Amino acid sequence: MADTKDRNPVHQCNKPYSISGDLGAVPPEGEQNPYVNALAQFDKTVEHLNLKSGVVDTLRYPKRELSVTFPVELANGDIRIFRGYRVHHSTVLGPTKGGIRYSPNVTLDEIRALAMLMSWKCALMNLPYGGAKGGVVVDPKALSRRELERLTRRYATEISLMLGPESDIPAPDMGTDSQVMAWIMDTYSMHKGYSVPAVTTGKPVEIGGSLGRTEATGRGVVNTIEQALKRMGMVPQRVSVAVQGFGNVGAVAASCCRELGMKVLAVSDSTGGILKEDGLDLDSLKIHKKESGQVSGFPGAENITNDELLTLKCDVLVVAAMENQITSRNADKIRATIIAEGANGPTTPEADEILNDRKVMTIPDILCNAGGVTVSYLEWVQDLQSFYWPLEQINLHLKNLITAAFNNVMACGESHRVPNRVAAQMLAIQRISDAIMIRGIYP
C-alpha cells in the first residue's frame, strides 16, 4: 500500500511498461486528467467552507492505495501479466464502497479521482460509507469468459486484504457485471471458508443480489431529471432527450425517460450515434444493438458522431459514457437546457465555468448517478440481515433518497449562491469533515 502523506498524488502516476504486454496507459495531462479535475473541484468547494487546514489536507489524499501485478494463464497456455488497483479515499463514515472497472485505459489517477467522487457521493446520499474504486488494465472483450473468470479471481485474491463486508465492498463498473461480482464474492468466501454475500453488491439475485440493482443507476438519473423538470416548470411530454452512452446506465435512463413521456431523439455508444427527430423506437434499437453490437446503422435513423450528439438541440442531455466528455472545447456549443451526468466526471472544471456562465442546469454526477450506490447500500443491508425486499420497496427507497438529496443540493445552492456541483460537494465534504472532528484524531 502506498503512503501518500507527504507527496502530491497527481505526480505519482502509473508508468507504462511491458511484461508480456502493456500494463498501463499514460495518465493524461491537464484538463483531461481526472484526478487533477477532482482536486480542482475539491479546492473550489472548500473555499466556501470553514474547515481546518489539516482536515482539508486529509481529504485531498487517498487513505490507502494498492497496486498489484499478477499473472493469468490464457486459454492457449500463455501467461500474461496484468496490473490492477484498489484505492480507499476515506473510511470516516464507514466501510468503503466503490466499483471495479476493467478497461485498457485504466490509470491510477483515474481510480484515485473516482474513489474521491465516491466519498462525496456516499456522504451526499447520507450512506454509511467511505469512497473506494478499483480497476484492472485490460480489455475484457479480448478475453474469453473463462479467461475473464481467472483474471477476476486472481485480482480478487490480490486485493483481498482490503476487502470485507465491514471494510470494503466492491460493485460493478465499466467493463464488469453481476457475474464478475459473483466471482469476487465466491473467491472471498472460499478464502473465508463460508459464504459472505455482503462482500460485494450488484450480484445476481440468486446469490444475494437485490432486485432493481441493475437498473438503479439509470433509474436514479431519471429520478433527478424528473425533479429538475418540475423545478423548471417543464412537462415531460414536451421534453426531448439525447443520451450519450447506450450501455447499462444510458439504456435504462433512455427507457425510463420514455416511460415518463419524453421523446428520446438520439443515443450513442463507443462506435458512434444515431438521430431520429421524431423519436427512436428503443425496443427495436435494443434488438439492433444486441444483434450488431452497435447503435449505428439503426434503420430509419441518421448516423451521427458522439461529438455531434453532445451539441444537439434538446431539452435534456444525459452524459452516461466516460469522464471528460464536456470540455472547454465544446462546452460553448452545448444546446441542452439540462445536463444529467450519468457518468462520473464527464464535465471538466473549465467546461463547468462556461456552462455556469451560460445558465445551463447541470445535475452533478455525485447526485445524478447515485442510484447505483444507493441500491448497493440496500443490497448490503439485505445481505447482512438475510431478509430481502420486493422491487416496489427498493424503487420507492431509491426515489425518496434521491429526491431528498436533490432538494438539499438545490437549497444549498440557492442559499450560498453557488452552482449545483459546488453545492453538492459542500454538503458531502462538510458531513465528512464533521465526522472527522467528532471522531477525533487518533491517537
pLDDT tens column, 339-365: 999 999 999 999 999 999 999 999 999
CB 179 within 8 A of CB 156: no
Q: Determine the structural domain holding residue 76 and report its residue range.
A: 9-201
Residues 141, 241: Cα–Cα separation, whole Å: 30
63 is catalytic: no
Give 16-26 pLDDT, tens digit per residue. Answer: 333 334 566 66
> Is the same domain home to 223 and 161?
no
**Residue that finishes a domain, picked among 368, 385, 416:** 368
> Is the same domain home to 152 and 268?
no
- For the record, the C-alpha cell of 303 comes out as 448516423
> Is the same domain home to 137 and 185?
yes
Residue 12 has pLDDT above 80, yes or no: no
Residues 324, 434: Cα–Cα separation, whole Å: 31
End-to-end C-alpha distance for the chain, whole angstroms:
21
Residues 39, 89: Cα–Cα separation, whole Å: 13
* 300 exposure class (CB count in 10 Å sphere: 0-12, 13-18, 19+): exposed
Domain contains 432 = no
**Residue that finishes a domain, picked among 180, 201, 222:** 201
Domain contains 404 = no
> Is the same domain home to 188 and 226?
no
Domain contains 410 = no
Give 132-162 pLDDT, tens digit per residue. Answer: 999 999 999 999 999 999 999 999 999 999 9
> Is the same domain home to 364 and 308?
yes
Which of 228, 287, 284 has its CA nearest to residue 257? 228
Give 177-210 pLDDT, tens digit per residue. Answer: 999 999 999 999 999 999 999 999 999 999 999 9
> Is the same domain home to 55 and 100?
yes
Domain contains 279 = yes
> Is the same domain home to 234 and 88?
no
> Is the same domain home to 53 and 107?
yes
DSSP string, 29-71: PGGG-HHHHHHHHHHHHHTTS---HHHHHHHHS-SEEEEEEEE
- Please state whether the predicted TM-score (pTM) of the whole model is above 0.85: yes
Q: CATH code at 298?
A: 3.40.50.720
Specify which residues 363 forms β-bridges with: 340
> Is the same domain home to 197 and 259?
no
Which position among 97, 121, 133, 399 bears the catalytic label?
A: 133
Which of 311, 201, 206, 204 has its CA nearest to residue 266? 311
Give 97-141 pLDDT, tens digit per residue. Answer: 999 999 999 999 999 999 999 999 999 999 999 999 999 999 999
Q: Which pLDDT value is given to residue 32?
A: 80
Phi/psi at 278 (5° precision) = -90, 10
Residues 5, 132: Cα–Cα separation, whole Å: 18
Residues 128, 93: Cα–Cα separation, whole Å: 5
Confidence bin at 91 (pLDDT 50/70/90): very high
Give 284-295 pLDDT, tens digit per residue. Answer: 999 999 999 999
- For the record, the C-alpha cell of 176 comes out as 464488469
Count up the domains in the chain and report the number. 2
SS3 19: coil
Give 353-397 pLDDT, tens digit per residue. Answer: 999 999 999 999 999 999 999 999 999 999 999 999 999 999 999
> Is the same domain home to 184 and 249?
no
Domain contains 440 = no
Q: Which pLDDT value is given to residue 14?
A: 39
> Is the same domain home to 19 and 110?
yes
- For the record, the C-alpha cell of 300 comes out as 430509419
Q: Which pLDDT value is given to residue 26?
A: 66
Domain contains 414 = no
Q: CATH code at 122?
A: 3.40.50.10860
**Residue that finishes a domain, picked among 368, 384, 399:** 368
Q: Which pLDDT value is given to residue 25?
A: 64
> Is the same domain home to 190 and 263?
no
SS3 230: helix
Annotate 263-298 with b (16+ C-beta within 10 A) or e (fewer).
bbbbbbbeebbbbbeeebbbeebeebbeeeebbbeb
Domain contains 293 = yes
Domain contains 99 = yes
Give 32-81 pLDDT, tens digit per residue. Answer: 899 999 999 999 999 999 999 999 999 999 999 999 999 999 999 999 99
Q: Which pLDDT value is given to residue 2?
A: 39
